[in-house]
């Protein structure tokens, strides 16, 4: 499905500049429309990602970053499954303002397209759902995720099928493998937003730096 076609179903995919995207998300939070839309669309990305993550990680106390956490949909799923040491990060403050209490230990407003102000080897796991898509976060963010993770950490993330090759995620994933920065454990197709005909690759990688 082309960006034009998919943008007709999900308008935010038509946007390019970071400020445009941020403004759209800020508007999307009014009257909690974002969360309502995710329910209406049968958005399954958070549940599928956490199911895959917990399949390969049994330690509930690990320190996890939910990168691009939005209103906390992935954090809620992590908490349901017994994980409790979770930080959340997003570039929309208005999204962060809608995160339920007692989900995350810390919340950060950050742009994942920039070098993030987090020390090396801080986290033992990362989830990142819905950010690698049209007009959002680009492949170099994966370098940062490896940097801020300890060795053997799991990074579980989705990539919109429509941008996988166009944005160069295929090359970045291979580059990180070739550099022995991580190894891919699972690479499967997610239903993601099946009601809109939008699929994503669901990837689980283990950091091996």
* Domain encompassing residue 22: 3-55+62-181
| Confidence at residue 11, expressed as pLDDT on a 0 to 100 scale | 62
Indicate whether 29 belongs to any domain: yes
The verdict on residue 197 lying in a domain is: no
Residue 162, domain member (yes or no): yes
pLDDT band at 195; cut points 50, 70, 90: confident
Domain total in the chain: 1
* 173 within domain boundaries: yes
Tell me the pLDDT tens digit for each residue of 74-133: 999 999 999 999 999 999 999 999 999 999 999 999 999 999 999 999 999 999 999 999
Full 3-state SS string of the chain: CCHHHHHHHCHHHHCCCHHHHHHHHHHHCHHHHHHHHHHHCCCCHHHHHHHHHHHHCCCCCCCEEEECCCCCHHHHHHHHCCCCCEEEEECCHHHHCCCCCCCCCEEEECCCCCCCCCCCCCEEEEEEEEEECCCCCCCCHHHHHHHHEEEEEEEEEEEEHHHCCCCCHHHHHHHHHHCCCEEEEEEEEEEEEHHHCEEEEEEEEEECC
Residue 99 lies in a domain: yes
The domain spanning residue 19 has which CATH number?
3.40.50.150
Segment 180-198 mean pLDDT: 93
Query: Tens digits of per-residue pLDDT, 137-175?
Result: 999 999 999 999 999 999 999 999 999 999 999 999 999
**Residue 191 belongs to some domain of the structure:** no
Q: Establish if 79 belongs to a structural domain.
A: yes
- pLDDT band at residue 27, thresholds of 50, 70 and 90? confident
């Amino acid at each position: 499905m082309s960006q034009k076609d998919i943008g007709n179903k999900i308008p935010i995919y038509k946007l390019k500049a970071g400020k445009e995207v941020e403004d759209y998300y800020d508007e999307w939070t009014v009257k909690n429309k974002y969360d309502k839309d995710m329910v209406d669309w049968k958005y399954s990305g958070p549940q599928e990602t956490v199911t895959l993550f917990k399949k390969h990680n049994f330690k509930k106390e690990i320190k996890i970053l939910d990168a691009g956490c939005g209103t906390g949909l992935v954090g809620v799923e992590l908490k349901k499954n017994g994980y409790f040491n979770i930080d959340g990060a997003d570039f929309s403050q208005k999204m962060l303002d809608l995160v339920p209490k007692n989900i995350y230990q810390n919340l950060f407003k950050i742009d994942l397209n920039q070098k993030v102000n987090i020390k090396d080897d801080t986290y033992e796991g990362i989830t990142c759902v819905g950010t690698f898509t049209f007009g959002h976060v680009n492949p170099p963010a994966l370098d940062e995720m490896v940097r801020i993770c300890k060795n053997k950490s799991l990074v579980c993330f989705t990539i919109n099928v429509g941008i996988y090759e166009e944005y160069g995620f295929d090359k970045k994933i291979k580059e990180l493998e070739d550099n022995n920065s991580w190894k891919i454990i699972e690479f499967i197709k997610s239903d993601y937003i099946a009601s809109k005909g939008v699929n994503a690759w669901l990837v689980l990688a283990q950091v091996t730096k």
